[in-house]
Structures are given as C-alpha cells and as structure tokens.
Structure 1
Amino acid sequence: MRLKKLLWKIVEYDLPFIRIEKMFILSIVVGLLSGSAAILLYTLLDLFTQIFLLYFGGLEIPSSGGETSLFHIHSHLPEISHIPYQYAAAPVIGALLTGLTIHYLAPEASSSETDVVIRAFHTRRRTASLREIFARIILPCFTVGSGGSAGREGPTANIGAAIGIYLSNLLRLSEEERRTLLICGVAGGVGAIFKAPFGGALFAIEVLYREDMEVEAIIPAFISSIVSYSLFASVFGWTPIFSTPRYYFSPEHLIGFAVLGVLAAVLSRCFIRLFEFTKNEIFGDMGVSMRFRPALGAIFLIPIVLSYPQVMGMGYGWVQEAINGNLDILLLVVLIFMKMFATSFTVGSGGSGGVFAPSIFIGGMLGALTAELFGSVFPEFSGSESAFAVVGMGAFLTGIANVPLTAIVMIAQMCGNFDVLVPLMTSVSITYALTKDVTIYPSQVKNRAESPVHRRELAIDILEFVDVKSAFNPDVITLSPEDSCARVLELFEETGHHGYPVVDENGRVVGVITVSDVERIPEDRLSSVKVRDIMSRNVITVHPEESLEDALRKMVKYGIGRLIVTDRKDRDRIIGILTRSDIVKAHCEMAERIISERKKPGIMDFYYKKE
C-alpha cells in the first residue's frame, strides 16, 4: 500500500516537467519488475529443462558460451533408468501440461507469441492480471523446458507487456502512458533475457510496424531496458550469450554476405508460409480442444526429434557449435528445415513460446552453411564460419520479423562482437528489402497511419472542419528578389526555416525560395547570385477560408512543406505562411479537445470558441 501511495503522488500531477519525471520513474519501476520476471523465467526454464530433458530424458544438451545455471538439480535426484529415445516423450508431457493449464487456469495466456503484444498495442488492450503474469512465466517452462521448439522472447515480451498494462491500470494512467509502459515492459524483458539492452529497446519500438517505429517511447524503453538488464546480468553474469572469435572484415567477403542476405530472404518467406499453414490450416481447422492441441503438435514433433534432437528447445548450444565450425554441411542443411517444421508444430499448435530463438537457430545454421559452401570454392572465405553464422542470425530474424535495426544491434550484443557490424548491415539490408512485405506477426501493421491507436491522430477528416485561418502563422519572414543567396543561408541559421516567400517592393508575392535551392549554388558564388535567379516562380498558395485538409492535399500533391497564405480577393498579397508543423499542431489540439469534450469527431463547433 505504501508503494501504491508513493506512485500515486508521482502521477497525480500533470505539469509538463512532472510528466517527464513521472515517466522516468515509472520506466525504472517497469524495468525492475520485468527484470525480476526475466530472472524468474530464466531460472525456472533452466530448472524444467534439467528435469525434463537431462533427468527424465537422459539427453545432454550443449550450452552456449554465456548461458549459466544457478542450480544443478538433476545431480541431487535419485537415478532412474532410461529406455532408448525416452527424451522424445518429454515434449508431449510438457505440451499436455501447457494445454491443461491454459484451459483450466489461465485462458487469457493462451498464446505467448510476440504477435499478442503487437495486437495488444494496436487494439488498446486494457486488462492484465497477476494470474496472467505468473501463468506466462510458468507456461513456457512446460513447453520449452520439455524440448518444444520455441524461444523465450515471446513469453518475455508478453510478461513485460502485461506488467506495463497492469501497472498503468493500477495507477489509472492515460492511454498514451499505457502504451508507453507496455513498450517499456517489452524492452525490459527482451533486453534482459538476451543480455542486449540496446537491442531490447529497439525491438520494443520497431516490432510494432513493418516500416515504422514508435519513436516517442524510445527514451522510456532505453531506461527500462537498462534497469532490467543490469538486474538480470547481476545475477547471471555479464558474458554475452554466444562466444565468437575476433573477425577481421575483408571487402572480398561482401559478396558472400550479400548472397547470405538473399538466401535468408528466401528461407524467411518459406518459413512464414509453413508456419501460417501449420497454425491456421492444420491445427486451426482441426477442431481439437486447447487442452490437447499442444500435445498433438508435440506428437507431430516426435519423428523429427528421434532423428535430430538438436532441434529441441531453443538450441542455443547447437548455434554455438555452428559458430565454432563444428557441424558438417549435410547436418547444417537438414537442421535448417527440421527446425522450421519443429517450430511450426510447437508454436503453431498453441505451445507457449516465441519464434525469436528458432530464427536465431535457423539463421545461424544458414550462415555457417553459406560460409562452408563459399570456403570450399574460395580459400579467402576459410575461417569466416563464425562471422557468417552470426550474420545469418540477424538476416533471418529480419526476414521474418521486419526488425532490421534490432537485428543488427541485438545480434552484435548477444555475441559481444561488433566486428560484424558491416557484414550485418549488408545482409540485413538485402533481406529486409526482399521481405518487408511479409511478416510472421499478423498484427504488425505497415506504419503508424495504419495503427488504430494512431488513426485518430492522423485521420484527415478532422482537418475538414478546421480553417487555414485557425492555424497559419501571420509573422512571415520574407526576402527580396535582390537579396543574395548568402542571405537565405543566414536566415536559415537564425530561424531554422527551410523556405521563404519572395516579395517585391509593393509586398506582392513573386516567388518562393528554399534552402535546397541555395545548396545547389557553389559556395564562392553565394554572395553574387541573387534570389531572383534561382527562386521558384510557381507559387502554391492557400486562402484563409480553405480547410486544412485542402491545404494538406496541396502539400502532398506538389511535394512541398509549406504554403503561402494569401488574401482571397487579392491573390498576390501575402498574409501568412502555413507549414506541415502548423497542421500537425492544429490536429493535435483538435484531437485533445474532442477527447476532453467527449464529442464525436464530426462535431467541431467548439473549436471556434477560442477565437
């Protein structure tokens, strides 16, 4: 209760500087909570893996360079006898526990994919309970801990998002603040569990869109991710997840990384189609109860794990083997496709887990395979297996999730190796260019304009009811046709404005000039070239009585960022200027007034009361 009262003291004020301080503090709180949840998830997942696979299944699984265990419980349990391939039954048991727990105890936690978080953001989900948070911690331990092919990223993102939503409801925060805390939760959880705070923050703001970002939340996301990562790494160490040798970049390798980017794009598309078909067409149309559907997926998994147990769980240890160059070409090829099927059966049937870790596995194998193939033909590629494996991870992650910046930064942080930044940039750019029209997350929209939560801010119908006279700036800085181009640059440095109307001695508009026009003039001629020599004489104007919608359409049509406002009766007499920023400002004011007045978007009479 004391903590709640303290937080209320923070949120009950609404001054601008208090608002900034409030989000700073709440970002820290979310970071601490999501970091604690990540510690609990990591510990329990490791514990269940030891019980299911090592103790019950008798299956030794290699670990990656930076993953540690707090406990070794299997060594303290009584020995049991094992029959051959007993480990193949573990995923079925774990999947059955997953389905029963969801059906009877926590139906709201029925999916742990990252797509649930994306959908929650775009559809303004408002509820989260402590039961859901704890269920989302336990469920992946059943699925992934028993050997199901899935990852920790989906559950961690969902746990963090649920924490953010729960806290925002507890404190009765605004819709915008709720979305920010949701992002903070995702950033904190992902940044901690992958020991990549920068990558976790970028993931949280980038995964929501195919071609956009939630940039307003980036600072709170950074804060939450830093706090969460610091807490998590204090317990499990600061060593990156994967150990990689030093890589010395050579331009000769660029062709190989380019080919890897293309291959990652092709396989990403194949995986997305396979995943969607398995999830929607096979398990979605079966009509099987959620109690038994994950177990059915685990049964489909049995033939795969009997031959290739490497695909069980997250498989980070086997990725480490690929980085070290210890896997032969044939095994690399087979593991790529077996992991695709195994993940589709596990997650597509309703198992609790994400596709991030499987994408790391597939991408790592693909990168190692590409290095082996090039190395067998070109000697200069010999010894570059580790770099190609790392770059393959980032390229394949980009291909399925449309997160190029996240992939570059997070993979470099997960490997503790920034020598591969240039190769990562090369492959990721190519993959993104070839796959940005597809995604494994159905709720991921193209940009902010297509997001329901931002549609109100960007909707053009509001602008129909606002006149230009309500938004334009009457204080116009003008130039004379006889002014020099150097004067334009001086004004730009003084005001920051990129364009200026040009008027004659009678105050009539005769043209418009922009900084872009001046930048084409050689520096030594700036003082001699006059404004009249380079100004545009085709002046696009708008009248005070026109709507902002009409003004915006003119800007879009002619590709300009400002309009000269002139008198309707005298089109050459300038009375002001209207910029895109003026329209955005008017739109935001209108949206806030609509919300505060609780009126429908079509009723705009109150807007003119301020005049």
Structure 2
Amino acid sequence: MSSFKELNMIQWRQTKVKYILKKWLPISILIGISSGILMSLFLFFIQMVEITVRTFLFVPLAVVLAGIVTAFLVKNKFKEVEGPGIGYLIELKNKQIEIPPRSIYTRLFSSGISLGSGMPGGKEGPAFLMGGGLAYTIGKRFNLNKEDLSLAVTIGSASCTSAIFSAPLGGTLFASEVPFKRDIDMDIYLPAFIASITSVITFFIMSTYFLNITSLKINIETNIPFIDLKWIVIVSIFGLLLGLGSLIYNKLYLELNDSFSLIHLPYQKILLSSLLGAIFIWISSLITDNPLMLETGFTFINNIANNIDSLELSQLMIIFTFKAVIILFLISGGNSIGIFSPSLVLGGLLGAMFAIVTGLSLYTGEFFILGMAGILAGTAKTPISSMVLILEITGLPQMIFYMAIVTTIVYLASGETGLYPAQLLDRREALRQKIETKNYLAIVPISSIMASDVITLNPQVTVEQAKKKFEGSRIHTIPITNEENKIVVGIISSDDLNHLDENELLENIMITDVVTLTSDLSLQQALQLVLSSGIEHYPVVEKDSKILEGFITLRDILGAYLEQELIFAK
C-alpha cells in the first residue's frame, strides 16, 4: 500500500508541474495581458460616463436611468449583469457551470453605466466576473477540460481584481480565498500570480501612456508604534466592535436581499432599488453641502482617506449613514455594482469614528486603514487577502502586525455569515460537490484498494501487550474484534495508550462507537462518507454480518481518487 501511495503522490506532483510549465504559463500570460487591457477599458468607460453625467445630468436622475438600463438587460435574459458579480461567479465556478462569453461586454456596459452614473458601488465585483468570463473563454479556445476551466476562472478573476487595485499579491489571494469561508485554494496560485503581475503591468502601461485613469492612491502616514501592549489592547477592542458591525452589516444585506426577492420579477426589484437609492442620494445632497456625498468609486475613497483628519465626527456620521443606506438599497436590489469597495469605505469610516470617540484623533488615518482591512475580512470571509490587499494599496508594511490582529478578530467575531451565500465552507465541501459528478468513481469498489491483511486486537488484551503490537508495526490505529467471529467491537490508536496503566484491559478504554465502511461501497460513496465524517481510519466490514474484511485510511481513498483522476484525464 505504501508504494502505491508514493507512486500516486509522485505522479500527481509531476502532473501539477507539467500543468504549470507547459499549460498554465502561456495561458496565464495571455489572460494577464487581456485582463489588463479589459480593466483599463472598463475604468476608462466609467470615467467617460461620469464626465457625461456631471456635465448634463442630475446625479439621482442618472442613477435611476442606470437602473433602467440594468433592468432592461435582466428582463431580456442577461442574468450575468444582475448583482455584485462575485457571488454569481463563485456559484458558477463551484458548480462548474459554463460562463457565457458575453458576460465580458454585457457586464462592462451595465456596470460601467451604473458606476459612472453615481451609484456608490465597487468596480471589483464586475471585474471579478469579467475576469472569470474572459479566462473561461480563453480556456475554451485552448480546449481545456471542465476541471481546468474552473482553475482558469480563478486565474482570470485574480488578474482582473489585481489590475483594478494594482495589487497582484492581494488580488491573487482574494480570488483563491473568497470561494471558501474557512479555506484557501492554493492549487492554482502560481499561475494566477503570474497572470496578476502581467495584468498589473499591462494596466499600468495602458493607464499611463494611453488612457487617463484615476487609480486608488491612499497617502496616510502612520505614527503607531510597531508592537506596543497598549495598542494591542486598543486594536483588539476595535476588532471586536468591528466584528459586531460586520455581522450586523452582513445580516442587513441578506435580509434586504431576501425582501427584494419577494418581488417576483428581477428587473422590477432593480428599478425599485435604483429609485430608492436615487431618493436617498437626493436627500443627502439637501442635508449637507459636503461634496464628498456625491463622489463615488476610487475618487471618493482617495478623497475621504486623504482628508480624514480634517473631518469632524458629525460629518463622518452623516456620510456613513447615508452611504450605508444607499449602498444596501442599491446592491440588495440587484444593481450591477460591486459591494467590496463600498464595504471598504464603511469600514474605514467606522475606524475613523472609533478613533475620534476614544480620544485618538491623531490616529484617525491609521484606524481608517484598519477598518478597511477588518470589514473586508468580516464581510467577504477573507482574513489573509484582506490584510495583504490593504497593505499593497496603502504601502504601510509597518501596520501589518495590528492589521493581522484586526482581520483575525473581525473574521472570528463576525461568524459564518458573509455577503456571498454561494461560498462553500472549505475545499472538502467543494470536493464533495465535485465527486457527485464523477460517475466513473462509482465503478471502483473500495475492496480493491483496502488492506485485507489486517492486524487486530481483542478486548482482553492489556495496554502493555497492545503497545508491543504497535511497536512491531508501522500502523497507528488497530481495530478490536471478538476472537470468535471477528466482528468489530472497538478501535484503538497508539496515542490512546499513552499514560495508562500497563495492566488495563482494552475493553475498558477502547472506542466502542466505531465508524465503519462496508466492502460493497464504491470509491465515490466512500469519498462522500469520509469527507463528511472527518475521521481518518476505517475498518471495512461485510455489509450483513459486520465481520471485518479489511482496513482503509482517508489517505488510501484520496490516493485512489487521484489515481482515477489521472487515468480519466489521459
């Protein structure tokens, strides 16, 4: 069995290296260049719409018109333009559903109109979806199979996200982390990182030499000491409060989303939400003459972040309240804008208000940045990429320690609820979904891969005798059977025997609630069961008599799965 497993792992590593060097490298570079060009055109289009709106239209009216455009597209079966984009792509990717090539240009048009109109949404959601659609289309040209197309989607979404923020490391990590609530997909990280670097370089060339595009530039200096006990306590308290704020924000978004879903036709909820958003934009312009209220996108983030020290608490509270209400209405109703960037703004404003309320007004800029990273970790369930992305955007590596504290606490305090219902818990859940579609696994019986020559113990054996049995073998878990009929009555591991009386009988200490597999199961069925149970060692018994027939481990089963994947791929 050990040589079988070693051969499996060697073959699998060789296959991964071959994929990266021979297949993914040229595809990654092509996706990166295409993504950089696409994102520069996307941002340029948004700026042209913004100029047109500011010149000829009243912003609330422009918001309603943008909602009408999106509603018209949705009514005519262009489903890909509805909503923020990230959740939709996660769902398509996890279920390995085809991504329509038209999503590249339909999303560019609808999101460009919406964001340029004055809707305070994010560019990253549309960019994430367009990147996935672009990479899927390129992958089809290269005749990639379903599995590789799913990986290509990650590469495309990573490269477009990276280009938008000029943050290749953070963008790649975000695309790898956001499909899961508790996991990160590192299988395709290197090709995605290559594509992200390529896209950022391409975007820089396009935006610098061909198009005049506003980029995200946050210029804040920090005076917080690198490691200080007082600041660790303050930042931890802020993290807990922000975690609570993230939880409330997530639930409000999901509740509003459910409320809008009561409207039978999707295009009607888009029309209603855009109208409500426009009304609140108009009201906010009447209440305050602060020009920040009508700014959106990177221009708003740049101005609010770089002038945060000059804003009073009352101004911050007004901006936060209206922006939060407008954002929640517009995005919950299905408008074609992202929720990532608006969340960054709200988190930053919460951080600045926390600094002022606690008498730390000299550090409003620092808490603005901590709030940005923390809210992203709590809403998108991406603690690692949240920290890295904000560090890349701000260029403040000296804040990494406190940012790590905030993102970790917010992520834990905000619970499992996030902004993307399509997120899976971890890669095990993704594997379970994938296994359900692998019909060829159903013809492989686990009896063909289990160890049939099984070492056993009986309940009357002492701890001392059991230890000798373990010492004479390379195994760590042994099933315990009745001596008469070989029926499994318990199981014991070598760790269970530590610090016990040498004369104690196994029947008094063995685990009696044994999870077993039956020998008639297929590899597909066994995989689904073991991934759900979380146990690593399984006695294999005859279905009716429950007599022990073999022994199998999680590693054996996964090794056999990888071998079948290799055979099927060939």
Same fold (TM over 0.5): yes
Q: Aligned match of 2:244 in 261, 266, 287? A: 266
Name the amino acid aligned to 2:337.
G
CA distance in 2, matches of 1:196, 1:471: 46
Shift of 1:116: 1.3
Name the amino acid aligned to 1:276.
L
CA distance in 1, matches of 2:399, 2:36: 28
Residue pair 2:344, 2:373 contacting (<8 A) in 1 also: yes
CA distance in 1, matches of 2:161, 2:475: 40
**Cα distance change on mapping 1:138 and 1:306 into 2, 3 Å:** farther
Residue in structure 2 matched with residue 159 of structure 1 by the alignment = 130
Q: Is the aligned partner of 1:423 residue 2:402?
A: yes
Q: How much identity, in percent, do the aligned residues show?
A: 22
Q: Is the aligned partner of 1:393 residue 2:378?
A: no
CA distance in 1, matches of 2:77, 2:436: 41
**Cα distance change on mapping 1:382 and 1:267 into 2, 3 Å:** closer
Name the amino acid aligned to 1:561.
E
Alignment of 1:330-341 (within 5 A): 330-341=314-325
Deviations 1:103-133 (A, max 9, x none): 569554334431111121123221422x431
Deviations 1:584-608 (A, max 9, x none): 1224455777x789xxxxxxxxxxx
Q: Is the aligned partner of 1:561 residue 2:536?
A: yes
Deviations 1:481-537 (A, max 9, x none): 89x99x98xx9xxxxx884889xxxxxxxx9876x789x99xxxxxxxxx999x999
CA distance in 2, matches of 1:271, 1:233: 34
Residue pair 1:102, 1:110 contacting (<8 A) in 2 also: yes
Residue in structure 2 matched with residue 171 of structure 1 by the alignment = 142
CA distance in 1, matches of 2:113, 2:271: 14
CA distance in 2, matches of 1:89, 1:559: 55
Residue in structure 2 matched with residue 68 of structure 1 by the alignment = none
**Cα distance change on mapping 1:142 and 1:470 into 2, 3 Å:** same
CA distance in 2, matches of 1:148, 1:283: 21
Q: Secondary structure at the match of 1:437?
A: coil
Q: Aligned match of 1:442 in 406, 409, 421? A: 421
CA distance in 1, matches of 2:200, 2:503: 58
CA distance in 2, matches of 1:541, 1:350: 46
Residue pair 1:206, 1:403 contacting (<8 A) in 2 also: yes
Residue in structure 1 matched with residue 211 of structure 2 by the alignment = none
CA distance in 1, matches of 2:79, 2:517: 57
Residue pair 1:162, 1:185 contacting (<8 A) in 2 also: yes
Q: Secondary structure at the match of 2:358?
A: helix
Shift of 1:468: 4.9
**Cα distance change on mapping 1:566 and 1:318 into 2, 3 Å:** same
After superposition, the CA RMSD in angstroms is 4.7
CA distance in 1, matches of 2:551, 2:264: 62
Residue pair 1:161, 1:185 contacting (<8 A) in 2 also: yes
Name the amino acid aligned to 2:384.
L
Paired residues in the alignment total 522
Q: Secondary structure at the match of 2:552?
A: strand
Residue in structure 1 matched with residue 390 of structure 2 by the alignment = 411
Which runs of 5 or more residues in structure 2 are unaligned? 1-13, 209-213, 457-463, 480-490
**Cα distance change on mapping 1:395 and 1:532 into 2, 3 Å:** farther
Residue pair 2:517, 2:538 contacting (<8 A) in 1 also: no
Q: Aligned match of 1:281 in 231, 235, 259? A: 259
Shift of 1:393: 0.8
Q: Which moved more, 1:221-230 or 1:284-293?
A: 284-293
Residue pair 1:566, 1:575 contacting (<8 A) in 2 also: yes
Shift of 1:555: 8.0
CA distance in 1, matches of 2:264, 2:351: 36
Q: Secondary structure at the match of 2:27?
A: helix
Residue pair 1:28, 1:223 contacting (<8 A) in 2 also: yes
Shift of 1:245: 0.7
Residue pair 1:112, 1:136 contacting (<8 A) in 2 also: no
Q: Secondary structure at the match of 2:218?
A: coil
Residue in structure 1 matched with residue 7 of structure 2 by the alignment = none
Q: Is the aligned partner of 1:92 residue 2:56?
A: no
Residue pair 1:201, 1:222 contacting (<8 A) in 2 also: yes
Shift of 1:182: 0.7
CA distance in 2, matches of 1:109, 1:99: 9
Residue pair 1:146, 1:313 contacting (<8 A) in 2 also: no
Name the amino acid aligned to 2:133.
A
Residue in structure 2 matched with residue 253 of structure 1 by the alignment = 231
Residue pair 1:472, 1:577 contacting (<8 A) in 2 also: yes
Residue in structure 1 matched with residue 3 of structure 2 by the alignment = none
Which runs of 5 or more residues in structure 1 are unaligned? 1-13, 58-85, 376-380, 492-496, 503-510, 522-530, 598-611
Residue pair 1:30, 1:224 contacting (<8 A) in 2 also: yes
CA distance in 1, matches of 2:175, 2:44: 23
Q: Which moved more, 1:198-207 or 1:578-587?
A: 578-587
**Cα distance change on mapping 1:155 and 1:115 into 2, 3 Å:** same
Residue in structure 2 matched with residue 313 of structure 1 by the alignment = 296
Residue in structure 1 matched with residue 93 of structure 2 by the alignment = 121
Residue in structure 2 matched with residue 41 of structure 1 by the alignment = 42
Residue in structure 2 matched with residue 343 of structure 1 by the alignment = 327
Using the size of structure 2 for normalisation, the TM-score is 0.76
Residue pair 1:258, 1:430 contacting (<8 A) in 2 also: yes
CA distance in 1, matches of 2:156, 2:528: 39
CA distance in 2, matches of 1:281, 1:513: 52
Q: Secondary structure at the match of 1:578?
A: strand
Deviations 1:11-64 (A, max 9, x none): xxx9776433202221222122112111111222223223323x346xxxxxxx
Residue pair 1:99, 1:295 contacting (<8 A) in 2 also: no
Shift of 1:454: 4.2
CA distance in 1, matches of 2:442, 2:270: 52
Shift of 1:374: 1.6
Q: Aligned match of 2:312 in 317, 328, 344? A: 328
Using the size of structure 1 for normalisation, the TM-score is 0.71
Deviations 1:388-447 (A, max 9, x none): 111111111122221111211111111111222221222222221122321211222323
Residue in structure 1 matched with residue 282 of structure 2 by the alignment = 302
CA distance in 2, matches of 1:229, 1:420: 24
Q: Which moved more, 1:240-249 or 1:199-208?
A: 240-249
Shift of 1:356: 0.7
**Cα distance change on mapping 1:349 and 1:576 into 2, 3 Å:** closer
Residue pair 2:250, 2:379 contacting (<8 A) in 1 also: yes
Q: Is the aligned partner of 1:455 residue 2:433?
A: yes
**Cα distance change on mapping 1:393 and 1:532 into 2, 3 Å:** farther
CA distance in 2, matches of 1:299, 1:542: 60
Q: Is the aligned partner of 1:243 residue 2:219?
A: yes
Residue pair 1:395, 1:424 contacting (<8 A) in 2 also: yes
Deviations 1:157-195 (A, max 9, x none): 011011022122333321111101111111001011011
